[in-house]
Amino acid sequence: MAIKRVCVYCASSRQCDAEYHDAAARLGRELARNKVTLVYGGGSVGSMGHLADAALAEGGRVIGVLPRFMYDLEWGHQGLSELLIVNDLHERKQMMIAEVDAVIALPGGCGTLEELFEAITWKRLGLYGGPIVLVNTLGFYTKGVEFLESCIERRFMDERHREMWSLVEQPEDVLGAIASASPWPHENRDFAAL
């Protein structure tokens, strides 16, 4: 599959370990070098800023999606290819995932996790069918995947649902994981409910 446009969920924390910011920058460079348009939350600091700045420095196209209240607080990145201002967080999430070939989750806090779990839920319900790749920097998502495995073991999710996401250790492995992801046809919603 040709990968043209991806959505990346990530954090704005400036206080986390610098390795998370480095991983975000590496992903931004990797996307730009492969001519993949980046859609992300539009922020200018933390992993968000490092991701966008690195992609832009490599000549990449970067689209930010920012709720109006965040724009008013001047949280938006001012140097993007395009900054879309939306009414609220719900509209932001819908616009970020619309028409992308894949979703990528870098480490982050509750906002990042909420976006990730919504994408997984949408995939389970057949509303989104693309790959979802978790970047496991410093083992960040190891326990999260264990938690999802527990949902499967306890029969809140089907065994086949573990095909909805993949885990990579390095940002440079993301595009390969997207390319090799199992297809997820709309008909898979038939086993959304157990």
In angstroms, rounded to a whole number, what is the distance separating the alpha carbons of residues 5 and 82?
A: 14
In angstroms, rounded to a whole number, what is the distance separating the alpha carbons of residues 88 and 29?
A: 29
Q: Where does the chain have alpha helices with state H?
A: 18-33, 46-57, 68-72, 89-97, 110-124, 142-153, 174-179
In angstroms, rounded to a whole number, what is the distance separating the alpha carbons of residues 137 and 21?
A: 10
In angstroms, rounded to a whole number, what is the distance separating the alpha carbons of residues 160 and 82?
A: 37
- Report pTM: 0.97
**10 inside domain:** yes
**16 inside domain:** yes
In angstroms, rounded to a whole number, what is the distance separating the alpha carbons of residues 136 and 132?
A: 13
pLDDT of residue 193: 86
**191 inside domain:** no
In angstroms, rounded to a whole number, what is the distance separating the alpha carbons of residues 122 and 130?
A: 10
**188 inside domain:** no
pLDDT per residue of the chain (194 residues) written in tens, 0 to 9: 789 999 999 999 999 999 999 999 999 999 999 999 999 999 999 999 999 999 999 999 999 999 999 999 999 999 999 999 999 999 999 999 999 999 999 999 999 999 999 999 999 999 999 999 999 999 999 999 999 999 999 999 999 999 999 999 999 999 999 999 999 998 999 888 87
Cα torsion 98, 13, 50, 72: sign: positive
Domain count, the chain: 1
**187 inside domain:** no
**190 inside domain:** no
- Parent domain of 76: 5-182
pLDDT of residue 194: 75
Task: State the CATH number of the domain containing residue 132.
Answer: 3.40.50.450
**28 inside domain:** yes
Give the pLDDT confidence of 123-138 residue by residue, as tens digits: 999 999 999 999 999 9
